[in-house]
Amino acid sequence: MEKKTAHIISHSHWDREWYMSLEEHRYYLVKLFDDLLEQLAIDPDFHSFHLDGQTIMVDDYLQVRPQKEAEVKKYIREGRLIIGPWYILQDAFLTSAEANIRNLLYGMKDTKKLGQEGTLGYFPDTFGIYGQAPQILKQAKIDVAAFGRGVTPTGFNNQVHHSDDFSSPYSEMMWEAPDGSKVLGILFANWYSNGNEIPAEKEAAAAFWQKKLTDVEKFASTSQLLFMNGCDHQPLQKDVIKAIDLANELMPNVTFKHSSFNEYIAELKQELPKELQTIIKGELRNQKTDGWSTLVNTASARIYLKQANDRCQTLLERVLEPMGLMAPDKDLHRDFTEFYWKMLMENHPHDSICGCSVDEVHREMETRFEKVEKGAKRYIEEQAREIAATLPTSHQNPDAVPLVLFHASGKACGKVIKTNVFVHKIYFDEMNFQDIPEALKKIDLPSYFVERPDGSIHQAHVKEIGTTFGYDLPKDGFRKPYYAKEIEVNFWLETDIQVGFEVCHLVPGERTFSEGNPIWQASAKKLENEHLSVSIHEDGTYCIKDKNTGLAYNHLGSYEDTGDIGNEYMYKASGDGKTLSTKNSSSSIEVIENTAFRASILLSTTFSVPKQADDQLKLERENLVWHPERTAGRHQESAELKIQTVLVLEKGSKGLEVKVNINNQAKDHRLRALFPAGSGNSHHYADSIFEIVKRPNQPENQWSNPSFDHHMQRFVSLNDSNQGLTVAGKGLHEYEILDGKTIAVTLLRSVGELGDWGVFETPEAQCIGEQRAEFFLIPHKGDVISSEAYNLAYDYPLETVVIQTAQSAGEGDQAANLLNWSGSALSLTTCKPAEEGNGMIVRWFNPGEKVQELTVQGTENKAIYLSTILEDKEEHMGSGAVKMNVQPHQIITLLFEQ
């Protein structure tokens, strides 16, 4: 009989914050580290300890015990404290594609700085994993991934449930990304606690190992058996070496050893069977399970967190980083960028961004989001002002207001620019400050137009906001307060600048424009621009007609409400099974804006729903009735949901923007918006991590959950043989396809408990009060990929940064473009300064099944390199310009020397 090897890896899966706050958990982290350092010092046979695949645990410990830094780093360099490759263990589906890359980039940077190389793609408890993970890992020179979810269902209190239908034949398998990249996948088939608390007493140890060996051997494809000695927040087992020695005495046919992933993987690879098949392709979402423990509804728990995260990610990825290419101080920019990314990523662990922790955790998250958003905006504004101050902004009219527009979308575009401008500033040192507001009121507001660097003039719509207080912060003096007239300015802009700037001027004066007659036909029931016609019905639904194709989309935007007796992790419809709808209700309709550039209509609906679940739900929670078995109904008393829906249509837009405000006064329910999209289909598309994934509308045969909810990143899209509809959201990540014909997007989910291994009430997860949602409806012919409608969806949240500055002679040109590329079928995801040197990093992915050509114009005589996602140069592609083919689903990164 072949002698088997049992690799026992000591670890602790460390959720920074979950059923306790960060600082409460930190106490136990410090105790764990203290015990570890003592154990490593006194026991040379204690091989190593796996620090859960993340580096932030080291930072969290050293913040309390900075005097231990040298000792911690010593054991990291020796390979006895194993860190990385991630900065934190993030949720894969609720953090953006580039956030996943930054997590690996900064995690690997810290890992290397501390003296190790990250060699394992570690996803122990990630709530599903995106399909492009193998390609991302391979680009980071990582060829093995370890994961616990996505294949085998894991339920209450870390219990794994196996059956022939659910389980992988092996715990080792090949995992293939859509582009064909493969890594070795290691499934924690019996969870990452299958070697926890090993007995050091003979009778208990014999029984323990008899069961544990059988459980592991059932799935192992080799004689190398993996036992994870730890669990969530598990303290160190100090007698583990004694327990291992006892196991070797009791089981002579097995070699038990305290091991590490590096050692286990090296020995595993020597024995992997040649017939080991690629049995996983693409994303891991527990497709072949009963569907009750996928944790997918964390996508809709506390949606306000997802919305804040979306704002912050967009700000860092699509504003701060590309503007760094223009920053005068690249080192300062890199330092601030990493600082804000790391602060944001503190909100990205799965129990954090998923909204499935106690209320204290999520209150702290809101503060972090605010710090990132306010800090990054201030940094962007001040850097932009520094750049603007160096540019030639003078004008023949001394009253013209210079506006420097910073374009960072990465592509040429036409769009409405909306910004606020201060005119007629009066500083406190120029007049008694109490007299300034009255003086400003007496100044009549003139007409304005916009003049661009080429001398062309364009119509501007100006609306006075009022008298506003402000202040300047000079570099060499004390702050200078002022009052000014504040105006809102809207104008249409078409530009070829992909990443760069241009100087425009807001010039007082009368001009006649050919587009002077508004294109809008806005009435109480209609919006129209060049591309779309929107008709509004009495019940608040609306019809969009695509004027370019003649295709119509009827009765969009009704709201449905159902009871939710689940928890922060999983939705469970109430036992009554009733669905309430705003269809055929009555809504008030009001035009609130109608200019040459934008029109908006407000729809107001009052929706009566049960105020909460009935009393049975409280008993079911207290008695730990697992959510699939709950039967509670809804309360007889009602509450009113007041829903205000604003439809916005801009000049040139090929989509309808929708903003929803919900005054939620009900508990234990879910509110969704419904979008019928045609005559039906068997599949749909959703935005994921560097992928537009095609998913079936019906689940696998094993699925028994009545709901079939999914994650999306930016959008979901459904089409029939002729027409398609794409719904792009801001921080809206949950949807379901109903009857193959209708997209249902979750706008609000109210629940009252955490929902794992105990009774943890979370009243703030009921989301009482004002809640908001924003989305963008894009009609198109065919599917989202062939129509390239995904580019409109990706551009939806992007806004141009506009900086008001003073007239100055300055230097250089009034416009500059730092990036010039073509290949419309490709999606650009980042354009940023390189982590080292003065280079530029640009990344795209190919979402389709066809090879696409990419053409890029760089700086003359400067080299262009193919790069990894970690910004390592791989191949010299040429100088000045590059033309290359991008394979289907390929992620491509280029490094431009500057």
- Residues 255-270 pLDDT 10s: 999 999 999 999 999 9
Q: Determine the length of the chain.
A: 898
Residue 53 lies in a domain: yes
What was the pLDDT predicted at 127?
94
Whose CA is closest to 322, among 490, 512, 98, 531? 98
pLDDT exceeds cutoff 50 at 94: yes
Same domain, 642 and 737: yes
Residue 257 lies in a domain: yes
**143 is annotated as an active-site residue:** no
Residue 385 lies in a domain: no
Cα(322)–Cα(331) distance, integer angstroms? 14
Question: How does pLDDT run across 362-404, given as a tens digit for each residue?
Answer: 999 999 999 999 999 999 999 999 999 999 999 999 999 999 9
Cα(701)–Cα(545) distance, integer angstroms? 38
Residue 319 lies in a domain: no
Same domain, 224 and 90: yes
- Look at 156 and 297; give whichever has higher pLDDT: 297
User: Are 159 and 121 in contact, with CB atoms under 8 Å apart?
Assistant: no
pLDDT exceeds cutoff 80 at 201: yes
> What share of the chain in percent tops pLDDT 70?
97
Domain termination residue (choose one: 299, 331, 365): 299
- Please tell me the least confidently modeled range out of 43-47, 76-80, 854-858: 854-858
Residue 362 lies in a domain: no
Asked if the peptide bond before residue 847 counts as cis, ω within 30 degrees of 0, the response is: no
Same domain, 510 and 544: no
pLDDT exceeds cutoff 60 at 517: no
What are the tokens at 699?
A: 């689940």
User: Are 147 and 284 in contact, with CB atoms under 8 Å apart?
Assistant: yes
User: CATH code at 279?
Assistant: 3.20.110.10
Contacts 24+ apart (CB under 8 A), 244-247: 244/8, 244/198, 246/199, 246/200, 246/201, 246/202, 246/205, 247/6, 247/198, 247/205, 247/209
Cα(610)–Cα(668) distance, integer angstroms? 9
- The predicted model gives 19-33 an average pLDDT of 98
Same domain, 670 and 711: yes
pLDDT exceeds cutoff 70 at 519: no
Cα(245)–Cα(237) distance, integer angstroms? 14
Same domain, 291 and 165: yes
Res. 515 pLDDT band, cuts 50 70 90: low
Instruction: Quickly count: other Cβ atoms within 10 Å of residue 689's Cβ.
Output: 26
What was the pLDDT predicted at 521?
61
**pTM recorded for the entire structure:** 0.96
What was the pLDDT predicted at 687?
98
Res. 825 pLDDT band, cuts 50 70 90: very high
Residue 405 lies in a domain: yes
pLDDT exceeds cutoff 50 at 166: no
Relative to beta strand 669-676, strand 558-563 is: antiparallel
Question: How does pLDDT run across 441-474, given as a tens digit for each residue?
Answer: 999 999 999 999 999 999 999 999 999 999 999 8
The parent domain of residue 891 ranges over 819-898
Question: How does pLDDT run across 303-350, given as a tens digit for each residue?
Answer: 999 999 999 999 999 999 999 999 889 999 999 999 999 999 999 999
Cα(527)–Cα(532) distance, integer angstroms? 8
Whose CA is closest to 288, among 128, 509, 444? 128
What was the pLDDT predicted at 860?
82
Domain termination residue (choose one: 804, 832, 856): 804
What was the pLDDT predicted at 134?
98
Domain termination residue (choose one: 260, 277, 299): 299
DSSP string of 716-727? EEEE-SSEEEEE
pLDDT exceeds cutoff 70 at 168: no
pLDDT exceeds cutoff 70 at 277: no
User: CATH code at 421?
Assistant: 2.60.40.2210
Same domain, 744 and 693: yes
Same domain, 593 and 534: yes
User: Are 773 and 660 in contact, with CB atoms under 8 Å apart?
Assistant: yes
Q: At what angle do helices 359-389 and 330-345 cross, to 10 degrees?
A: 160
* SS3 category, 617: helix
Cα(335)–Cα(806) distance, integer angstroms? 29
Same domain, 777 and 858: no
User: Are 450 and 460 in contact, with CB atoms under 8 Å apart?
Assistant: yes
> What share of the chain in percent tops pLDDT 90?
89
Question: How does pLDDT run across 410-420, given as a tens digit for each residue?
Answer: 999 899 999 99
Cα dihedral: 76, 79, 80, 84 (round 10): 60
Same domain, 9 and 55: yes
Cα(783)–Cα(790) distance, integer angstroms? 10
Cα(803)–Cα(403) distance, integer angstroms? 6
Residue 384 lies in a domain: no
- The predicted model gives 635-654 an average pLDDT of 96
Strand partners, 646: 602, 659
What was the pLDDT predicted at 719?
97
Cα(698)–Cα(696) distance, integer angstroms? 5
Cα 618 to Cα 516, 611, 624, 673: the distances in Å are: 62, 14, 10, 28
Which listed residue (125, 215, 539, 546) is catalytic?
125
User: CATH code at 559?
Assistant: 2.70.98.30
User: Are 717 and 726 in contact, with CB atoms under 8 Å apart?
Assistant: yes
What was the pLDDT predicted at 167?
44
Report which residue type is found at 877. M
Same domain, 766 and 823: no
The sheet with strand 552-556 has its strands ordered as 526-528, 532-536, 542-546, 552-556
Question: How does pLDDT run across 593-644, given as a tens digit for each residue?
Answer: 998 899 999 999 999 999 999 999 999 999 999 999 999 999 999 999 999 9
Same domain, 446 and 544: no
Same domain, 531 and 486: no
- The predicted model gives 874-894 an average pLDDT of 95
Number of domains in the chain: 4
Residue 610 lies in a domain: yes
